[in-house]
Structure formats: C-alpha cells, structure tokens
C-alpha cells in the first residue's frame, strides 16, 4: 500500500507539502473568481439545494416525516449540484491538461472543489464565452 501512495504523491514529499501549504491562497483566489461568475440561474439552483436541506432538517428531522419519496426529493438537488460540479471538474482537468493529469492527486482536489461549486462551474465549463473576465485599466502614462 505504501508503494501505491508513494507513486500517487510522487517521490518528493517536500514538493507535495509545499503544494498543500499554498492551497489556502489558491482556494481564496478560486472563491473570489467563482463569486464573480454567479448568475441568477446559479442562485435559483443553489436555492433548491438549500430548500432540500431545510426540508431535511424540518420535515425529516423535527417533524419526523419519514417518507422515502420526500427524502429522495430533498436530496436530489444536492446530488445533482455535486454531479454537475464533478463533471465540470473533469472537463476542466481533461480539457485543460489532458487525461494524464488524472494521475496527479492535485487533480482530484480541483475536481472536488469544482464539485462544491456545482452548476456555476458546469455552466462555465460548457460555455467559456459565459465567463465574466475582469480586465484592469491600463496603467496611466507618465507625462
């Protein structure tokens, strides 16, 4: 088992550790970039996810309504949200770096991160022209 882990994480443990240490800054940049991409459709989809969670808390947990159909209906938006994000993560990884990128553990972290953003990342993966790209103003020329 140790050989497989070593193959997956690579020979240089310090590089893997440096990669993990830089993750919080990269995560913050990804959060800010994704927040700029949110559209009303994404808010509605996430609203359905939250509504499912609320029903689980109130209906299933507090009121003890244990009907299987309602439970599946409440969990369905969350499952679809995560599935959309995982599909987009695969599109970004394979489309951007090629199928060989799936041999690196960092690829799976990015796929997991895309999974959390759900419909937002799937919409961007399928339609790159839909991205809101921030272009800073040109630097002022000194006179």
Residue 39 zone, left/alpha/beta (φ > 0; ψ -120 to 50; rest)? beta
Is pLDDT above 90 for 7? Answer: no
pTM value > 0.85: no
Our measurement of the distance from residue 107's CA atom to the centroid of its chain's CA atoms, rounded to an integer in Å, reads: 12
In this model, does residue 3 exceed pLDDT 80? no
Q: Per the structure block, which two tokens stand in for 97?
A: 């770096």
Contact between residue 82 and residue 10 where contact means Cβ atoms under 8 Å apart:
no
Residue 44 confidence class, pLDDT cut points 50, 70, 90: very high
Other beta carbons within 10 angstroms of residue 75's beta carbon come to 16
Averaged pLDDT, 37-53: 92
Work out the number of other CB atoms within 10 angstroms of the CB of residue 9. Answer: 16
How would residue 67 be classed by pLDDT, with cut points 50, 70 and 90? Answer: confident
Name every residue whose Cβ is closer than 8 Å to that of residue 130 and which is 6 or more positions away in sequence: 123, 124
DSSP summary character for residue 58: I
- Residue 131's pLDDT is 63
pLDDT of 13 higher than 80: no
Domain boundaries, the chain: 35-126
pLDDT tens for each residue of 68-91? 888 899 999 999 999 999 999 898
pLDDT band at residue 50 under the 50/70/90 scheme: very high
Render pLDDT for 25-40 as a digit per residue (tens, 0 to 9).
767 777 777 788 888 9
Q: Measuring CA to CA, how many Å separate 118 from each of 15, 16, 70? A: 30, 27, 22
Q: How far lies 57's CA from each of 40, 46, 72, in Å?
A: 25, 17, 14
């Amino acid at each position: 088992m140790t050989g497989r882990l070593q193959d997956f994480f690579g020979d240089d443990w310090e590089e893997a550790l440096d990669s993990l240490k830089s993750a919080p800054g990269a995560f913050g940049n990804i959060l800010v970039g994704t927040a700029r991409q949110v559209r009303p459709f994404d808010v509605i989809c996430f609203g359905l996810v939250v509504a499912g969670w609320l029903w689980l808390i109130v209906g299933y947990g507090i009121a003890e309504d244990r009907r299987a159909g309602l439970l599946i209906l409440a969990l369905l938006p969350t499952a679809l949200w995560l599935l959309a994000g995982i599909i987009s993560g695969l599109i970004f990884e394979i489309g951007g770096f090629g199928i060989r990128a799936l041999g690196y553990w960092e690829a799976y972290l990015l796929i997991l991160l895309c999974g959390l953003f759900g419909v937002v990342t799937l919409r961007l993966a399928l339609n790159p022209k839909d991205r809101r790209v921030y272009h800073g103003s040109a630097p002022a020329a000194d006179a």
